[in-house]
Amino acid sequence: MQQGYIHIYTGNGKGKTTAAFGLALRAICAGKNVYIGQFVKSMQYSEIRLENLLNKVDISFGSLCIEQLGHGCCLDGVIDKEDIWMAQRGWVHCMKMLQSKKWDVMIFDELTIALSLERLEIDKVVQDLQIRNSSTEIIITGRYAPQKLIDIADIVTDMREIKHYYRKGILSRKGIDC
Ligand code: ATP
Ligand code: MG
């Protein structure tokens, strides 16, 4: 059984979620089954349509499952009971998917945001990841990756912002940023 590693794509620069989706495409083309759970997000990002597209191709490709586990991208730091409940339920669900051993690659998009907004307990997440089925490759994305998560990861990439058009007031554009 091949060893699976834990990746983290964090930092303020652009490219965390798209890097994870790029890796997902590569894995699917190599016949691997990929699960993507998106924490916090509920908006219809363009990439969630990939599931429909990819599951129509021939069986030499792996399969893809994308689920949204949040109910909104509230980054104002206000903790809402519903948000906490959704994140916790989402994490329990992800761990069940992990135990099913169906997935070769699992991506937990914006998990670090759920952690930094205190919707999930870091110690619980770290403990669950440490006792996981170790052949599954895990990719975690999002700003503000906590040190305890970095400590157990095998690859950590900091997407450093050198420039971002967001600072010029250019918000998310369909097909490029969302
Ligand atoms: P991508 O999905 O393009 O790979 P990402 O995953 O690296 O990006 P996120 O941290 O998830 O980026 O940010 C998502 C959105 O936040 C972007 O669409 C962008 O418009 C917006 N954004 C970018 N920089 C900032 C900022 N400094 N503060 C708040 N929002 C920002
Ligand atoms: Mg992202």
State pTM to two decimals.
0.93
> Is the model's pLDDT at 72 over the cut of 80?
no
pLDDT at 78: 64
> Is the model's pLDDT at 76 over the cut of 60?
no
Q: Compute the Cα dihedral for 88, 18, 156, 7 and give only its sign.
A: positive
Tokens 């798209």, located at residue: 18
Closest CA to 158 of 168, 170, 150, 148: 150
Tell me which DSSP letter residue 26 carries: H
Q: What is the pLDDT of residues 34-65, one digit of tens each?
A: 999 999 877 778 888 888 887 777 778 899 99
Ligand found nearest the CA of 176: 1
Tokens 């495409």, located at residue: 25
The best mutation among 10, 14, 46 to test binding of ligand 1, ranked by most ligand atoms within 8 Å of the C-beta, falls on 14
Q: What percent of the chain clears pLDDT 70, i.e. is strictly above it? A: 94
Dist CA 108 CA 60 (whole Å): 25
Is ligand 1 within 6 A of the CB of residue 144?
no
Supply the residue whose CA is at minimum distance from atom 23 of ligand 1.
166
Is ligand 1 within 6 A of the CB of residue 15?
yes
DSSP SS3 for 10:
strand
Q: What is the pLDDT of residues 94-135, one digit of tens each?
A: 999 999 999 999 999 999 999 998 889 999 999 999 988 789
Q: What is the mean pLDDT of residues 3-16?
A: 97
pLDDT at 77: 57
Dist CA 21 CA 38 (whole Å): 11
Ligand found nearest the CA of 12: 1
